[in-house]
A = this chain, B = another copy of it.
Amino acid sequence: MSSLHAVIMAGGSGTRFWPASRQRRPKQFLPLARGQLLIRATLERLQGLCPVERTWIVTNPQQGKALGKLLLDFPSAQILIEPEPRDTAPCVALATAAIAARDPGATMVVMPADHVIAPVDAFQRLLRRGAELCADGRTLVTFGIAPTHPATGYGYIECGERLDQGTPTAFLARRFREKPDRATAEQFLAAGNFRWNSGIFAWTTDGIRAAMAAGNPALADGTTALLAAVQRGDRRAITRVFKALPKTSIDYGVMEKAPRIAVVDAALQWDDVGSFPALTAVGDRDAAGNVSLLTGGAQQACLDAADNIVYAEGERTVALFGVRDLVVVAVGDAVMVCPKHRADDLKQLVEHLRATGRTDLL
C-alpha cells in the first residue's frame, strides 16, 4: 500500500460558540475535547497512524498564524494556507496537490479538525480499513456513523450492498442525502441502512483526481495546475489558481457524482459538537442535569437550577439560581445567556453584533 497521509480541515468560523469562539479562535481552538483543544485532540488521534511529516492542516491565514503559535511541535511546512475561504472542495484540491507533489500515488485520509471522536484504536482501525479499500485508485471511501436518533442536522448516506467480507463492515454507497426534515430522518432511522455522513474520507491522490475529472473537470484541472505550482514553489500561482477553483463542498462537488463510493461502518463515539447543547455529550453533568465545561480555573455553583449548560474559562465562578434550560457562557470579555432552544440560532446574535458595530467582539 502507498504511504498514508492525513489531512485535517481546519477552516471553520464557529459562530455557534460565541463568545467562546471568535474569528481568530474558531471551534477547533476550544477545549471541547474534555478540556483539550479539539485541534490537539484531532492530532493526537492520529498518533501511531500517520507521522507528523505526513500530517497536514489546511486552514485560513489568521488561523494558520494562531496554529503556528499553539502547536509549536507541528512543522509549519505542514500547514497549508487557503488564500480565501472557498468551501471544502478547493481545500481538498490544495491538500491533494501538496501531497501528490511530495508523494505521488499517496493515500489520504481527510477529516475535520473539530469533531469529538473516541476511542482512538477503533478510529485508527477504521481509517486503515478505509485506506485499504481506496487502494484500488478508483474507490472513494466515506465513514458512516449509525444514527442513534432522527437528527436533522446531519447529512445521511444510504448504504447499498455489502462491499466485501472484511471488517469493519463496508458497504457500497447508494446515494448521499442532504440534511433531511424530521419525517425523512425518521424514515432513514427506521430503514436501518442509512448512516450519518461523518465528513471523514479516504482516497488516493489519483483516485480523488479521477473522481474530480469525472464529476467536476474544472476542479480536476485546478488541482493539476495547483500540483504544478506546488512543484515549482510558485506561491503566486497557487493563490491565483486556488481563487479560481469552483466554490463547492467536496460532498456536493465530487462525492455525490462519484461512480464508486464505499461506506465504512464507523462504530465510534462521534459528535460534531455543532453548538453549545452538544456539550451535553462532552461536558460534566451534575445531579440536576446541569452540564458544564469549565477550564482555566473556572467554577460553577448551582442552586435550584436544572438542565442548564455552562461554559466558562478562567478564574471566575458562574452561579445559577432558580433557572433552567439556559446556556450561560462566561469568558474574559463577554458573558452570553440564551435559552438552550435558541443556541442553534446563535449566529443571529453574532450578526446583530456585527450590524451594531461590535466587531471587536467577533
A contacts, CB < 8 Å to B: 19, 299, 301, 303-304, 312, 315-323, 326, 328, 330, 332-339, 342, 345-346, 348-349, 352-353, 356, 358, 361
Contacts and interface: CB of A to CB of B under 8 A. Distances in A.
A321 B346 contact: yes
Nearest to A346: B321
A323 B348 contact: no
A313 to B, nearest CB: 12
Nearest to A360: B317
A353 B301 contact: yes
Contacts of A315: 333
B319 A349 contact: yes
A328 B337 contact: yes
B338 A316 contact: no
A56 to B, nearest CB: 36
B358 A334 contact: no
B328 A335 contact: yes
6 contacts: A321-B338, A321-B348, A322-B342, A323-B338, A328-B335, A328-B337
A321 B342 contact: yes
Contacts of A346: 321
A326 B130 CA distance: 51
A327 to B, nearest CB: 9
Contacts of A323: 326, 337-339
A338 B299 CA distance: 17
Contacts of A342: 304, 321-322
Contacts of A353: 301, 319
A303 B349 contact: yes
A342 to B, nearest CB: 4
Contacts of A318: 334-337
Contact of A349 (B321, B332, B361): B321
A207 to B, nearest CB: 45
